[in-house]
Chains A and B, each alone.
Chain A
Amino acid sequence: MDLLVVGAGPAGIAAAVSAAELGARVVLVDQGTAAGGQIWRRRAGEAAPRAARSWLERLERSSVRVASGGEIVDVDDGGGFVLSAPAELITVRPAATVIATGARELFLPFPGWTLPNVVGAGGLQALLKGGLDVRGRRVVLAGSGPLLLPVAATVTRAGARLAIVAEQAPASALGAFTRSLWRSPRRLVAAGVLRAGFLGTRYAAGTWVVRADGDDRVREVTFTDGSRSWREACDYLAVGYGLVPNTELARLLGAATGASGILVDDRQATTAPGVFAAGECAGIGGAPLAIAEGIIAGTAAAGVAELPRSAVAARARERRFAARLASAFALRDEVYRLADDETVVCRCEDVRAGELGGVHDPREARLHARAGMGACQGRVCGAALAAARGWSEGAVRPPLFPIPVSALIARAD
């Protein structure tokens, strides 16, 4: 195998296809049921979104071997990657690797956030794309970022009653951002189309969730705009505060990361030899940026020195836009301080905020309170604590995802 690509979203598909079309033998590993990642997620047999079609068709026509339902769980010193398939563990030794592990949502703890039917904004989008039936259900959507718009449109199209879309960023920041869009009419039109998808619902800037209440599931959400608080009844609360790059595999490989994700050079190469990164894991920027980075990474990983010019130009343009988005949707301090002492911070181990009073880094949080020791391995609470307290992310240890003991035993035999 010449190239291993980890993650079959837009970046991974673009990297795999670009390298394969240059003659490389490529394996594309993905934990989902079908290639497409989160943004191009769809049910089996369902037509792909328009933006995805040409890439999925090129993938189909290419020599790329797609390994769905697999996860890279470990690496060894000899350049081997351990693939959980998932019933057995297989070691693969590619000449080069493109990490395209995407991003997850940033969840910030608040009282009541562990109640069933409190989901992520992207989480609700993923469930809706998978066929979740919300007809007639009352949904409230909150958090921050451009992702709230397509989710609101999907919720409305799915027949739910969308009560409010609460964006924590102040109206002033959003207004300045929207006015700046005259320079990119295509984006202005896209935003307008999304807004038109939930015209009957209030999009409230400078508004955020302070708590959720319920019994066997969430029933009611309390919002504030900083001066006034009110409640909304709901069947689902979807809340997400933007995206966090998935850097665990890169860090296990010893690649350097920064505040915005895996560090890459102009060839999308990381600091680890033979390891490239593309897409959201190397900095949040949306699907067009992910595709441009994927093309560049796949081309470079296939050993071609000259980078494709149109992809390089698209990457520069999309990165500038991503920086403007990030500044418009910067998080206010209040949303980092919603948890009270009784609020669970580490959902896997049920560690409450009050138990983390005297700890100063992820290691202490693990040793003293077991925060970050559970099944998600700190992907949720670690990101929240890093964002809220300025902590670095904790150490990464294999397996990156839980694996069955039977697979371990079979491997030892």
Chain B
Amino acid sequence: MSATFVRITVDGHTLAVEPGTTVAVALLNHGITAFRDSVKGTPRGPVCGMGICFECRVTVNGVAGVRACLVACTADMIVQTGGVA
């Protein structure tokens, strides 16, 4: 892809990703496998990739519970992993 990279911040680190990349793919490509903790504290990451399982929830621009697989990265987006439940 040739379009300009989009910069996002994930847990305080800046990433440059290709436009159109979902948040889930951006995090996985960055080496993040645990997106959140389950109610009993076990790490979870994306499963269904299509908005059904809700395992990939992260906080995006202050909004908790966003399904990372459904949202495309946009400029200056701030993503936080490690939310509970």
Contacts and interface: CB of A to CB of B under 8 A. Distances in A.
Contacts of A32: 51, 70
Nearest to B66: A86
Interface stretch (A43-51, A184-192, A269-277, A357-365): A43-51
Interface of A: 31-33, 38, 43-46, 69, 104-105, 107, 114, 116-120, 122-127, 130-133, 216-217, 246, 344, 347-350, 374-376, 379-380, 402, 404
B20 A376 contact: no
A376 B22 CA distance: 20
Contacts of B72: 33, 44
Contacts of A130: 21-22, 24-25, 49, 69
Nearest to B65: A402
B7 interface: no
B53 A45 contact: no
A33 B73 CA distance: 11
Contacts of B63: 404
A31 B25 CA distance: 17
A120 B47 contact: yes
B34 A116 contact: yes
Given A31-B70, A133-B29, A404-B63, A347 B38 contact: yes
Contacts of A104: 48, 50, 52
A410 to B, nearest CB: 14
B57 A379 contact: no
B38 A123 contact: no
A117 B31 CA distance: 11
Contacts of A43: 1, 18, 20-21
B49 A124 contact: yes
Interface residues of B, number: 39
Interface of B: 1, 3, 18-22, 24-25, 28-29, 33-35, 38-40, 42-55, 57, 63, 65, 69-72, 85
Contact of B44 (A131, A132, A347): A347
Given A104-B50, A127-B25, A344-B38, 5 more contacts: A107-B48, A120-B48, A123-B47, A216-B43, A375-B65
A40 B1 CA distance: 18
Given A116-B34, A375-B54, A46 B49 contact: no
A139 B19 CA distance: 26
A117 B33 contact: yes
A380 to B, nearest CB: 5
Contact of A126 (B3, B20, B69): B69
Contact of A46 (B20, B40, B55): B20
A350 B1 CA distance: 40
Nearest to B3: A45
19 contacts: A33-B20, A43-B1, A43-B20, A44-B72, A114-B42, A117-B45, A119-B48, A127-B28, A127-B69, A131-B21, A217-B33, A344-B38, A347-B47, A349-B39, A350-B38, A350-B39, A350-B40, A375-B54, A375-B57
